[in-house]
Amino acid sequence: MSAASSAKPVRIDVVSDVVCPWCFIGKRRLEKALALKPEIPVEIHWRPYFLNDWIPREGMSREQYLTTKFGSVERYHGIAQRVGMAAKQEGLVYDSQKLSNQPNTTDCHRLIRWAAERGNAAQMKQRLMEMYFTEGADLTKRDTLVQAAVDCGFDAAQVRADLESDKDVEAVTREAQSAKEAGIEGVPCYIFGGMLAVSGAQAPEYLADAIQRVSDEQNKTQAAE
């Protein structure tokens, strides 16, 4: 057995929100970082975070949201341009003009949680973010969420029934709140091996270096045992 295959995987907890554009970009940069370190085994866990925990479950209009958070729709234009350019550099499409609704993301995080049980949380996360940022889909609509789940291999009737219930609402809310209580104020936040936290959509090379450092530390500990 090679050293790489016997090495303990580096656990990466990614605390992020579906409606955070830098989380959209950060996910792609993490994927590029992993490609830079193919020899290091990793385990990725997608953790919920509410970027805007004051938004009601039914969501609100994008105009109302931008006015509340930034003072006016116009004041967000400059930010949107910067985000759009950063997304484009990563091969992503961020089309802020298509966004008409700002959702509460409790149900999105429930879907990601359920997808994790099937081993495809990353696929669900990606689909929800693409629907929102690229296609301008309304994530407050049940049909939109069901379609995202179907796109990821779920049964439509089952996921609709689960969404209409309170299944895991408390668990998701508690976990998202725990992240804030732990001091996480900005996302994405990557926690490597429970020992190194990196905040923000950092460059792939920076994230790859963090993966290497934690892997090396784990291997030292493993060798000493």
| pLDDT for the residue numbered 203 | 98
Q: What is the pLDDT of residues 88-141, one digit of tens each?
A: 999 999 999 999 999 999 999 999 999 999 999 999 999 999 999 999 999 999
Q: What percent of the chain has pLDDT over 90?
A: 94
Burial 50-72 (b: 16+ CB within 10 A, else e): bbbeebeeebbebeebbeeeeee
Q: What is the pLDDT of residue 222?
A: 82
In CATH, the number for domain 3-224 is 3.40.30.10
Domain boundaries, given as residue ranges, for the chain: 3-224
Over the stretch 20-51, which tens digit does the pLDDT of each residue have?
999 999 999 999 999 999 999 999 999 999 99
pLDDT (mean) for 183-196: 96
